[in-house]
Amino acid sequence: MSTSPLDYSQDPPRSQYDLIIRKDKPFNAEPRIQDLVKHYITPEQFMFVRSHGPVPMHLNDSHIITVQGGENTKEFTVGQLKTQFKKYHVMMAMQCAGNRRDGLHRVKHTKGVIWGAAAVGNTTFAGCRLRDVLHAVGVTSFKNDLHVAFESVEQCEETPCYGSSIPLCKALDEFGDVLLAYEMNGKPLTRDHGYPLRVVVPGYIGARSVKYLKSIIVQDHESTSYFQQRDYKLLPANVSCEAEAEEYWCKVPAIGEFNVQSFVCSPSHEEEDTIKASGIMTAQGYALSGGGRGIQRVDVSNDNGETWQVANLYQPTLTTSAHIWGWCLWTLKLEYKGYPIVSRAVDSAGNVQQEYPVWNYRGVLNNSWRTVNL
């Protein structure tokens, strides 16, 4: 654990963003909620940034990634990964496990950056497939209980470096679409988003999409990193402080896939007040689910959940495909009746957002459709 304070003086300039800063050092910021639904593919200007420490410096195409699988260890520069492996594109929603933490924090104190509902975005990534790189070190078949651990160059406030892992079967799944990405939205990754190379794990919480990748190890246990073992877990509601959490970290599984989610982005709560006069409004929002589950329906209510109307969905992927990684934007014209507009999404497996928040200490995976002010 580093004892001297981390140095943020070399963080990149950020004037190009249109974001609300939730924490300055490390830099954590999300867009205004009404900006989030202006584009189906989120421009970087409106893409949330989640950092755990200072942005690494002096990295480029000669940065070396160590890949270890079984007896084999190989090293690849970022440049080699770009030229030696086929390039793939994945359009996917990236969502922080702490998206909408504010809703749980209003119920009771939570630990973590107090995100609103915009710690999510939908972008295209390009890079080589992790599957292909693992094949190149001889990892082709797999057991359910093997894992791929990622380590980052990123120095964190909590630990010397960021790390995380995913099950090997996700990594090797032909339709798992896990990439070692070097582009976002058709341009090289920027420093805030993981330059020169990051993992992207579609359908999983953002914490598993490790930025500034340094090493990949296939092993028989999960990453031992703080971020896999003592964070990003859904603790039971009776755990409300660090001391109580202590005995639960080893009992509760690390989060992989996220749950079904939706939110009304426009009008924002502030805008609703000014819209009252006109009577009719067009509500807009996003919806998404984890694990490749598409959204099959979004219900919207203007009367406090008494009645629901079905929204129009925009989710331009094959409706028959097994995996849908991109989010769904939705709109619905409806009358303003004095209540906040609320939405409730149903995913392809029939999972529905719950009504009230189920509070948890780390404030993760909040997906209640009712926003409670206590």
Q: Which residues bind its own copies (CB under 8 A)?
A: 141-142, 144-145, 147, 167, 169-170, 173-175, 221-222, 234, 236-238, 252-253, 255-260, 290-291, 293-294, 296-297, 299, 308, 310, 318-323, 344, 346, 348-356, 358, 364-365, 367
Nearer to its own copies, 155 or 302 (CB): 302
Paired residues of 39 in beta bridges: none
Nearer to its own copies, 311 or 341 (CB): 311
Angle at 291 between CA 233 and CA 285, to 5 degrees: 90
Contact 295, 325 (CB under 8 A): no
Nearer to its own copies, 81 or 295 (CB): 295
CA atoms within 13 A on the CB side of 285: 29
Task: Calculate the CA 145 to chain-centre distance.
Answer: 24
Q: Read off φ and ψ for residue 168, nearest 5 degrees.
A: -60, -35
Please, what is the minimum distance in Å from the beta carbon of residue 69 to its own copies? 17
Please, what is the minimum distance in Å from the beta carbon of residue 291 to its own copies? 6
Nearer to its own copies, 72 or 319 (CB): 319
Q: How far apart are CA 67 and CA 217, in angstroms?
A: 6
Please, what is the minimum distance in Å from the beta carbon of residue 245 to its own copies? 14
Please, what is the minimum distance in Å from the beta carbon of residue 42 to its own copies? 22
Read out DSSP for 246-311? Answer: TTTTTTSPBP-B---EEEEEES-HHHHHHHGGG-EEEEEEEEE-STTPPEEEEEEESSTTSS-EEP
47-63 burial: b if 16+ Cβ within 10 Å, else e: bbbbbbbbbbeebeeeb
Nearer to its own copies, 9 or 247 (CB): 247
Please, what is the minimum distance in Å from the beta carbon of residue 296 to its own copies? 5
Supply 323's token pair. 């995996």
Q: What are the residue ranges of helices labelled H in the chain?
A: 33-36, 78-84, 101-105, 130-136, 168-172, 226-229, 242-245, 269-275
Please, what is the minimum distance in Å from the beta carbon of residue 93 to its own copies? 14
Nearer to its own copies, 33 or 365 (CB): 365
Angle at 72 between CA 66 and CA 77, to 5 degrees: 25
Paired residues of 90 in beta bridges: 125
Please, what is the minimum distance in Å from the beta carbon of residue 354 to its own copies? 5
Nearer to its own copies, 46 or 204 (CB): 204
